Homo-oligomer: A and B are copies of this chain.
């Protein structure tokens, strides 16, 4: 399916504030970028690099005052998520070298403390997809989706204790529990078509039987229509804006719509 995704953000800084943004999606295995725009006003010199996870990162300094950033992309992505109810856990010694880092605990996913909890939830299920799905479903049923229950310092333990959170917290709980079972898990941020209310979204992926599978504990059932902005160990790695100074988001609009079929796909731009 073809999605038109994007967001329009206005930030305000008291004084010049360096930021690193992760707002440009990349084509990869999961999606193809047909088009994309990335504009901001006022204009400031901006550079871009690829981080260790393969994400495109934009560096700029927001000047004192307001700055508006608008990004938009048309992305070809899967309608239907791949599911594999019988896929087995990959043995640790079989994992690709670059997947190993997703077994390690991280800022918001202290998986080193989670094993007994994970076994309570998923121990009765077969190692691999069934365990991860059991964890995902448990979160969906037992953690309440509620704004204001968490902030930028809430980790998976806090959310398990508090019993509520938002998409990022759901993902952190999932990642922490899954990693504790020696299954690699990573954070994904991006867009989900049909999300209510529409916003930037977060979910997680787990490496099972030789590939990444998508899991989203905020949803009752597997659901395609996703466009990825960035991958990381947890939210610390994939903030859509990391600001190194005070910065206020004064306005933000997000969309993830079915892209209209172009009358003429090869039309010269006006």
Residues of A within 8 A of B (CB): 4, 8, 18, 20, 24, 26-29, 32-39, 41, 43, 46-52, 54, 56-59, 61, 68, 70, 72, 76, 91-93, 97-98, 100-101, 103-107, 109-110, 112-113, 152-153, 155, 182, 236-237, 242, 244-245, 260, 265-266, 269-270
Task: Report B-chain residues with C-beta under 8 Å of the C-beta of A236.
Answer: 104-106, 112
Copies of this chain in the oligomer = 4
Contact: B41 with A265, CB < 8 Å? yes
| 29 A-B contacts (beta carbon < 8 Å) | A4-B269, A18-B92, A18-B93, A20-B100, A26-B56, A27-B46, A28-B47, A33-B48, A34-B38, A35-B35, A36-B36, A41-B266, A49-B97, A51-B101, A57-B100, A59-B97, A68-B266, A72-B269, A103-B242, A104-B107, A105-B107, A105-B236, A106-B106, A110-B153, A112-B153, A112-B236, A182-B244, A182-B245, A260-B270
Closest to A157 in B: B153
Q: Chain B residue with minimal CB distance to A32?
A: B46
Question: How far apart are the CA atoms of A27 and B35 in the complex, in Å?
Answer: 15
Residues in chain B near residue A32, CB distance under 8 A: 46, 48
Q: Which residue of B lies closest to A107 (CB)?
A: B105
Chain B hits for A76, CB < 8 A: 43
Q: How long is the Cα–Cα vector from A33 to B68 in the complex, in angstroms? A: 16
| Smallest CB gap from A60: residue in B | B93
